[in-house]
Amino acid sequence: DNVMGAFEQRVAKEGLGLHELAVLAATLEHFVHKEAMSRLHLAYGAHSVKAEDIISMAEAEDIMDSYMVLYILGFMLKNVAEATPAEIQALRRVVPEIYPTWNGTQEFLREVKESVASRRDYLYFSDVATVIEEAGERYGTWQDKECRALKDDLMAVEDSRPGGAGRVRLADFYRLAVHQGKSQFSESISFLRQQGALDE
């Protein structure tokens, strides 16, 4: 918070030069890395494994899945930074129902693991951390495909009445979930309102 406050003051007064921008980027990268490693330690703990332990490829995949569950569904926890092993395991049980592309996410993680740590029988924490960081680098590009598919689904049911451009009727939105099995379109009205997605 102190670091961000200092940057905000500097931006408000003079703006950022190239050097300050580079420092800001490095600072943000440090915070992202620190948060990722904290989440990875929690994932290890969810499987009763210590960071010092050498793990098998199968154990690494389970730990990486737990990491991704925290990354994707961590918002469902009261405090993701203090997630308990039981909370993480509970999220793992429900993730296939809540996050329709979970199987694809797992495949994505396996592909990253194979490209970063292939031909290994065991991994150290630093190896798993490298896979996680590489997955973080590639995730935006991979997830963009999912976002485009969601956009296409919504555009297909866009309200064609006058004044309806850019809008989807709630009935059509929920029809995607109920009749087409696209559960990502099942958020409650109160959630959609909270997100500012309802045009009331």
DSSP string, 124-147: -HHHHHHHHHHHHHHHHHHHHHHH
Strand (E) or helix (H) holding 55:
strand 55-56
Pair 42, 88: CB distance under 8 Å: yes
Query: What is the Cα–Cα distance from 27 to 56, expressed in whole angstroms?
Result: 33
Per-residue pLDDT of the chain (200 residues; tens, 9 = 90+): 566 676 667 666 777 778 777 877 787 887 887 888 999 999 999 999 999 999 999 999 999 999 999 998 998 899 999 999 999 999 999 999 888 789 999 999 999 999 988 777 889 999 999 999 999 888 888 877 777 888 888 888 888 888 778 888 888 888 888 888 777 787 888 888 888 888 87
Neighbours of 78 (CB within 10 A): 7
Query: In 3-state terms, what secondary structure has residue 100?
Result: coil
Query: pTM score, two decimals?
Result: 0.70
- CB-based contact 64:88 (threshold 8 Å): no
Measured CA to CA, the distance from residue 88 to residue 42 in angstroms comes to 8
CA dihedral 147, 148, 153, 156 (to 10 degrees): 150
Rg (CA), the chain: 21
Beta bridge partners of 56: 122
Classified as helix, coil or strand, 78 is coil
